[in-house]
Chains A and B, each alone.
Chain A
Amino acid sequence: QQPVQSPQAVILREGEDAVINCSSSKALYSVHWYRQKHGEAPVFLMILLKGGEQKGHEKISASFNEKKQQSSLYLTASQLSYSGTYFCGTEMSLVHDMRFGAGTRLTVKP
């Protein structure tokens, strides 16, 4: 039931772009994206609900393709502060059951 995330790890230089993918074999109600820095708790980035929307906040945006049950997180012009592990979390219904992917470790170097 856990979503599948790819890639497992990404190394970027400052200013480069990255895409992180999340897919599910089951129909999804919502997709959440979180970022976790080393030794800290995961922090919410954004939610996408079924309906195929796209959301964005400054240089981080995401899309949700309901037909394919896939979501992608786009990081443009990456900054050092973007480093961390990114998790997608998925819900299949209104049941309180958030499942997380295995995470994508993003490292941004100067």
Chain B
Amino acid sequence: DTAVSQTPKYLVTQMGNDKSIKCEQNLGHDTMYWYKQDSKKFLKIMFSYNNKELIINETVPNRFSPKSPDKAHLNLHINSLELGDSAVYFCASSQVGEGHSPLHFGNGTRLTVT
């Protein structure tokens, strides 16, 4: 059973297009995240949601809009794609509470903007 699954795995598109990445977790976690990993492997938090509520929005351009229809899903929609958006996007989930649980990552979506 896949714990955190995201689709698609690869996304190749042209500048100016709009695209979405979907993420689902079946771990029963209450918190979900989007991270962006650039070509230098730097993992940068973009958003975190707790029980469908936006907690962190880390100075991400307005072109990026997360949506959490329920606590098991966190989708990412990107408008007007730019070359600089090319990266690997990871969805993750955790159960936040006393002691903090680890982040469970999806397998990533490699976005290439041409």
Contact = CB atoms under 8 A, between A and B. Distances in A.
A37 to B, nearest CB: 12
B-side interface size class: 20 to 34
Given A96-B33, A96-B96, A41 B45 contact: no
Contact of A44 (B33, B40, B99, B104): B104
Interface string B74-114: 00000000000000001000101101111111111000000
Interface residues of A, number: 26
A103 B40 CA distance: 9
Contact of A41 (B33, B99, B101, B106): B106
| Chain A residues touching B, majority SS | strand
Contacts of A40: 107
24 contacts: A29-B100, A30-B100, A32-B100, A40-B107, A41-B90, A41-B105, A41-B106, A41-B107, A42-B105, A43-B105, A44-B102, A44-B103, A87-B43, A91-B100, A94-B96, A95-B55, A95-B56, A96-B31, A96-B33, A96-B48, A98-B33, A98-B103, A102-B41, A103-B43
Interface of B: 31, 33, 35, 40-45, 48, 50, 55-56, 90, 94, 96-97, 99-108
